């Protein structure tokens, strides 16, 4: 089963006072596994602490309890039975994140990570669950949601990699993404440009995606190109534009062009002349062959006539 930890590297840091840190959205797809991040400040060990994961809108509200150095699931809500776990080897480092497996549509809601013995520290995670390519909790159009949802592409990076002939090679990269994004290139008029090969995709150990795409562009009126990244499941889209300086494109040397054209014309002329010479030679050869054949036939006939006369004379 795949595990999708939405940007665990950006784990929540629990405040040192008894207050909420705000709702942090996490996105998962139906049937996947998801990790709800929660990390104690200053990496305080959680081995000897009580860790309470709850969903206040449910009765019972307990999602997963850890007490006395072991899981205590007596009060756990039955809908989560067999689907929750902590990372026991990470408790020493203050990591109290919750793994929720086989995500369901009914798992949508706010989850609290509560440490009662450490000044009642608490944080809230909002879990959004998507199905297919649509986020079930909203029907809003694509827009920039990078400040609302973890895993939404914050800003693609465009690099001018070099030249290929008289065109420029551009590379666009976006990292730390979840769900997997779609990347495309556009020109200044918004027309989609063909990429130079398929999009390259990789994933880190936390389940986040890094996508890279290349495009080869010729010189245009304004040399402005856009890398567009879309995550349909969370209705997110982010764009990055780049302007390629005119100096990046090789200048055309008219003398070189003229010499090239003259050479092409000369080659064509020589080829044409050779063709005509060959044709004339073939015609001449055929004519001479026919003449020679005619002479041979005439000579043979004369010899036959002389032989006939001599034969009659002897008789």
State residue 302's pLDDT score: 66
- CATH architecture of the domain 3-132 equals Sandwich (2.60)
pLDDT at 64: 96
**In this predicted structure, what is the pLDDT of residue 313?**
62
Buried/exposed code over 248-266 (b: 16+ C-beta within 10 A; e: otherwise): ebeeeeeeeeeeeeeeeee
Residue 14 has pLDDT above 60, yes or no: no
Residue 133 burial class via C-beta count within 10 angstroms: exposed 0-12, middle 13-18, buried 19 and up: exposed
Q: Does domain 157-248 have CATH number 3.10.20.600?
A: no
Q: What is the pLDDT of residue 241?
A: 93
> Is-contact 4 207, C-beta < 8 A?
yes
pLDDT at 6: 37
Helical segments of 152-253, H only: none
* Upper half-sphere CA count for residue 228 (Cβ side, 13 Å): 19
pLDDT in tens, 134-159: 444 444 578 887 777 778 888 899 99
Burial 71-102 (b: 16+ CB within 10 A, else e): bebeebbeebeebbebeeeebeebbbbbbbee
pTM over the 0.75 mark: no
- Number of alpha carbons in the 13 Å side-chain half-sphere of residue 291: 6
Return the pLDDT at 146.
Answer: 77
């Amino acid at each position: 089963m795949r595990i999708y930890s939405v940007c665990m590297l950006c784990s929540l840091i629990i405040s040192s006072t008894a207050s909420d840190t705000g709702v942090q959205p996490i996105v998962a797809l139906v049937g996947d596994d998801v990790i709800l991040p929660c990390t104690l400040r200053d990496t305080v060990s959680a081995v000897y602490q009580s860790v309470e994961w709850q969903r206040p809108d449910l009765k019972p509200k307990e999602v997963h309890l850890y007490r006395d150095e072991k899981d205590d699931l007596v009060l756990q809500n039955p809908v989560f039975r067999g689907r929750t776990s902590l990372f026991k080897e990470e408790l020493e480092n203050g990591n109290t994140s919750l793994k929720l497996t086989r995500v369901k549509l009914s798992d949508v809601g706010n989850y609290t990570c509560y440490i009662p013995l450490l000044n009642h520290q608490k944080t809230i995670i909002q879990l959004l669950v998507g199905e297919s390519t649509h986020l079930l909790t909203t029907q809003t159009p694509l827009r920039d949601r990078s400040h609302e949802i973890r895993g939404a592409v914050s800003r693609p990076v465009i690099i001018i990699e070099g030249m290929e002939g008289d065109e420029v090679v551009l590379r666009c990269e976006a990292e730390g993404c979840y769900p997997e994004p779609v990347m495309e290139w556009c020109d200044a008029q918004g027309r989609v440009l063909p990429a130079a090969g398929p999009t390259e995709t990789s994933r880190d150990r936390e389940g986040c995606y890094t996508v890279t795409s290349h495009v080869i562009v010729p010189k245009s009126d304004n040399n402005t190109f856009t890398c567009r990244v879309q995550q349909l499941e969370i209705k997110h889209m982010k764009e990055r534009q780049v302007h390629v300086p005119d100096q990046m494109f090789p200048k055309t040397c008219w003398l070189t062009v003229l010499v090239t054209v003259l050479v092409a014309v000369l080659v064509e002329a020589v080829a044409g002349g050779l063709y005509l010479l060959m044709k004339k030679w073939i015609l001449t050869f055929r004519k001479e062959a026919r003449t020679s054949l005619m002479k041979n036939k005439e000579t043979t006939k004369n010899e036959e006539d002389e032989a006939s006369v001599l034969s009659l004379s002897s008789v």
